[in-house]
Amino acid sequence: MSIKNHLNQRLSAAMIAAGIPKDCQPILALSARPKFGDYQANGAMAAAKRLGVNPRALAQQIVDQVDLDGIAERIEIAGPGFINLHLSRTFIGEQLGRSLDPETCERTASNVVIDYSSPNLAKEMHVGHIRSTIIGDCLARVLEYRGDHVIRQNHMGDWGTQFGMLIAELELHLGAGERGDLALNDLEKFYQQAKRHFDEDPDFADRARAYVVRLQSGDEHCLALWQQFIATSVAHNLEIYRRLNVGLSAEHVQPESTYNNQLEAIVSKLTECGLAVDDQGAKVIFLDDLADKKGQPSAMIIRKSDGGFLYATTDLAALEYRAQTLAADRILYFIDARQALHMKQVFSAGRKAGLVAADVDLEHHAFGTMMGRDGKPFKTRDGGTVKLAGLIDEAEERAARLIREKNPNLDDRQIADIARKLGIGAVKYADLSKTRTTDYIFDWEAMLSFEGNTAPYLQYAYTRICSIFRRADVDRTAHSAPVIIGTDAEKSLALQLLQFDEIIEQVATECYPHVLCTYLYDLASAYMSFYECCPILKSNVSPEDRASRLQLSALSATTLARGLDLLGIEVMQQM
RNA sequence: GCACCCGUAGCUCAGCUGGAUAGAGUAGGUGGCUUCGAACCACUUGGUCGGGAGUUCGAAUCUCUCCGGGUGCGCCA
């Protein structure tokens, strides 16, 4: 149990004993300044306001009642009624010993479906896909770590009008005697060729449109071309995932087309229950709960007047599949904020139609639009997009150059391995460390930076610890010793280590990975400060201090590695 | 027109259900490697938290309003 929970229990009990209503919280937080102790409880002031009594007097009553023997060595009331808690150093040391036991982590066991990455297969993956892919993957790891059963769903876009154009292009290449896999080697170029043919050649455009219809009606020739195209594109995406160390593989691919044969049934079901109605030839769902101020309901078309289905239909079918077949307790969508209204509509309609039970959590975790350095929507100089494959190449090259410069003793194989972990880590951390919901600036320099609050800083802290254990000739994973909290640096580090579980809990419920990034950065900083002022292997250090400091180092390494792993970032023994 | 999101240091960003003197990174300045890895550490310069009003012991945080930016809104996905 975390220290915060510990204190929460004791203070809650004291508040009840002092006659304060049960729903008043202690409101515990880390103290703003060292002179205010380690933790502070701000609940007395809020409770006093409600009860109409003097806040300082109420704080005193709580302090009179609270039992923190062996936990806090000093309790003070300050200002209008802050309760400042100075923790016992012995207690901190004991708690650290307990945190070695993995069984202390509270487990959950929900069925959680996570929809993330979900790129369109018509084009190559570009930087616009990175947030969903990386953030979704982080949450999958975090939820799995705390015990949930995670079902990854890569809802790839493999269906729609643009595929008529693409298979017409592919047919053109094959007709010229070209090999399909070679023609599709550069998906981006291929798409642009198809687009140009479509725009400039009326015959091609007609053929493309006809192919869409033939594809939808199950024409074998078109399906074969389509499957060849899809297979190549999926393979490209899986390669990107592998290079990014993202836990998505072929088994998680559940593309739009898999719902094709359920769309008819979905529309029937929604019509029969009276939710979907005919309007101007189309099937439309009007949602009163999403109406504007004037009472105009929000409209969602699930079937066009020409009989065609839309992505709303597919999303409803996917929602039913996830809730019913996959038996989800919680369904998370990591999708661009621009689709916020669409997601609300799907959730609302899905619940009203009974596709998903009321006790299933539906959560759209949005993120902002990617902007250029000028604050406008991002484009490269020639108006294109930055491909993920290129970004990964660049990250690895930059990392390799830096390693060669900093550490000339490494051989080429070591450099390649470290460069991969370092470069990819920098790219992922740059994204994960920013609050998910806001628009974000795409900045090569910041993303590939190796200084300051970056993944390499955290990886560096880890390698420093590894280096100490190599020098001491001690097995880090086997080392075990009591922790003695002497200096302030040791205390800060210890308190930081003890917050890991509550941070994981917070990330699991709120789905904000940047909270974990901030925590790990603070942990690494605390370790760096500790490292500067607390010698470990020097001759003037007592055996007890040496063992204790090695213990703190081992715990720091374990926590850093675990936290980085949950972010999808790897560590290395040296760099 | 309607709806949602966002304005915090030169730049990129934190700031937990309202809490004490608004914090990091980066950029600028100073100092620290014959001693556990300087991709580091210790100091330092820099902000009327977009403007205004309200709620109260207390507001970057909650409410309203205005300004500025972004996004979305029945037959694309």
Concatenate the DSSP letters of all residues of A210-249 into one string: HHHHHHHTT-HHHHHHHHHHHHHHHHHHHHHHHHHT----
pLDDT of the residue at A274? 94
How many CB atoms sit inside 10 A of residue A393's CB? 13
Q: Which candidate, A70, A98, A97, A95, places its Cα nearest to that of A85?
A: A70
Amino acid A243 CA to nucleotide B60 C1' distance, rounded Å: 40
Q: Which nucleotide is nearest to A284 (CA to C1')?
A: B74
Regarding beta strands A361-365 and A330-334, do their DSSP bridges make them parallel or antiparallel, or are they unpaired?
parallel
Q: Which candidate, A563, A555, A458, places its Cα nearest to that of A497?
A: A555
Give residue for tokens 């300051």.
A452
CB of A33 lies under 7 Å from some atom of strand B:
yes
Residues 270-329/A with CB < 7 A to strand B:
279-282, 284, 292-294, 296, 299, 301, 304-306, 308-311, 314
pLDDT of the residue at A104? 53
Residues 221-280/A with CB < 7 A to strand B:
256, 279-280
SS3 A282: strand
Tens of pLDDT, residues A501-510: 999 999 999 9
- What single-letter DSSP state applies at residue A309? B
* Residue A79 near residue A44, CB atoms below 8 Å: no
Q: Which nucleotide is nearest to A368 (CA to C1')?
A: B5
Report residue A475 as tokens. Answer: 């097995």
Q: Encode A354-369 in three state secondary structure.
A: CCCCCCCEEEEECCCC
Report residue A326 as tokens. Answer: 């996959």
Give A517's contacts (C-beta < 8 A, 6+ positions apart): A429, A432, A433, A567
Tens of pLDDT, residues A280-335: 999 999 999 998 888 889 999 999 999 999 999 999 999 999 999 999 999 999 99
Q: Which nucleotide is nearest to A536 (CA to C1')?
A: B36
pLDDT of the residue at A444? 79
Residues 53-112/A with CB < 7 A to strand B:
55, 78-82, 84
Q: Where in chain A is the domain with CATH 3.30.1360.70?
A: 3-87
DSSP per residue over A378-421, as a string? Answer: P--TTS---BHHHHHHHHHHHHHHHHHHH-TTS-HHHHHHHHHH
Amino acid A97 CA to nucleotide B68 C1' distance, rounded Å: 54
* Dist CA A443 CA A470 (whole Å): 37
Going A148 to A151 to A155 to A156, the CA torsion angle's sign is positive
Q: Which candidate, A542, A534, A558, places its Cα nearest to that of A479?
A: A558
SS3 A154: strand
Amino acid A88 CA to nucleotide B47 C1' distance, rounded Å: 37
Q: Which candidate, A271, A221, A245, A26, places its Cα nearest to that of A138?
A: A245
Q: Which nucleotide is nearest to A301 (CA to C1')?
A: B74
Strands (DSSP E) contained in A116-195 are 149-153
CA A188 to chain centre: 27
CB of A163 lies under 7 Å from some atom of strand B:
no
CB of A433 lies under 7 Å from some atom of strand B:
yes
DSSP per residue over A416-453, as a string? Answer: HHHHHHHHHHHHHHHHHTS-TTS-EE--HHHHT--SSS
Give residue for tokens 């190549």.
A232
CB of A435 lies under 7 Å from some atom of strand B:
yes
CB of A540 lies under 7 Å from some atom of strand B:
no
* Dist CA A505 CA A503 (whole Å): 5
Phi and psi, residue A456, nearest 5°: -55, -30
CA distances from A20 to A57, A67, A80, A255 (A): 13, 16, 18, 55
CB of A36 lies under 7 Å from some atom of strand B:
yes
Residue whose CA is minimally distant from B35 C1': A538
* Dist CA A395 CA A481 (whole Å): 40
pLDDT of the residue at A161? 86
CB of A450 lies under 7 Å from some atom of strand B:
yes
pLDDT of the residue at A397? 96
Question: For chain A, which ranges sit under pLDDT 50?
Answer: none
Q: Which nucleotides of B are covered by protein (CB under 7 A)?
A: 2-7, 12-17, 19-21, 24-27, 35-37, 39-42, 56-58, 69-77
CA A93 to chain centre: 32
pLDDT of the residue at A381? 60
Report residue A126 as tokens. Answer: 């570009």
CA A510 to chain centre: 10
Report residue A524 as tokens. Answer: 């690494």
Q: By CB neighbour count within 10 A (0-12 exposed, 13-18 middle, 19+ buried), where does A418 fall?
A: buried
CB of A422 lies under 7 Å from some atom of strand B:
yes
Q: Encode A64-101 in three state secondary structure.
A: HHCCCCCCEEEEEEECCCEEEEEECHHHHHHHHHHCCC
Helix, strand, coil fractions of chain A, as percent rounded to 5:
55, 10, 30
Amino acid A498 CA to nucleotide B61 C1' distance, rounded Å: 27
CB of A464 lies under 7 Å from some atom of strand B:
yes
Going A205 to A210 to A211 to A216, the CA torsion angle's sign is positive
Residue whose CA is minimally distant from B13 C1': A434
Write down the CATH superfamily of domain A3-87. Answer: Arginyl tRNA synthetase N-terminal domain (3.30.1360.70)
Q: At what angle do helices A55-65 and A43-51 cross, to 10 degrees?
A: 120
- What single-letter DSSP state applies at residue A262? G
